[in-house]
Structure 1
Amino acid sequence: MRMRPVLIFDGDCGFCTTSVGLVQRLVRPRCEAVAWQHAGLASLGVTAERARHEALWVTPTGRVYGGAQAVAKILLSGGGVWAVVGAVLTLPPVRWAAHGLYRLVADNRGRLPGGTAACAVPGARTHRA
């Protein structure tokens, strides 16, 4: 049994990789961060399809949180003021707004700083102006 949670992210995405590095420096979550491409997803109870879709937080007992709730778990594990922010992100209606914001960012990460074509989420809707 694992002793620490695992943060799974898209290692091919520059935006995601940069974001995880920033979170590790600022928040200092108590977890192992690993790109889904190298994570051994089956042993974590996660599919590649889900890992491509959103960041995931897998607890030592195997519970999986995705997207904005994974972000909340990251913040909660950092302690201090980060834990307060993480706790707020778990409360409705903040949780609902956080989900919408997470999807907006995740679906457009290829257009964000550090993003490349490799960052595009398969099946994400593209919006043209």
Structure 2
Amino acid sequence: TEMGRTETEGSDDLSVLKVASSKRRSFDAKSFMPQRVNAEISRRYDIDTHEIGSGGYGKVFVAKDREVKDRLVAIKKVIIFDDEKKVAFMKEAQIMKELDHPNICKLLETYEQGKFMFFV
């Protein structure tokens, strides 16, 4: 075996690499961060209509968490133009889940509604 790879008859390289990759990773609670698909973000957050920033793919707003008293959050709202962009945003969310630094915003959760994705 090479790098923890186990080969079985009829297996393709992708499934073998997935198994090898999963064996190398340790348990990470951040990987269980909520991703809410077709959930109404406004049920959890009261989003201010005034944007605090914008970029090529979306805008950033301040919102009040309805479940945690006195907690304000930033919500990045991006437009999913196509499947390629959706994959890119999903990768961005995965990377953000793994970051832990005092000068980097923590990703609390993500929402996907229609053609929009929200990073909280």
TM-score, normalisation: structure 1: 0.28
More strand by share: 2
Which of 1 and 2 has greater Rg?
A: 2
More helix by share: 1
TM-score, normalisation: structure 2: 0.30
Question: Higher relative contact order by CA 8 Å / sep ≥ 6: 1 or 2?
Answer: 1
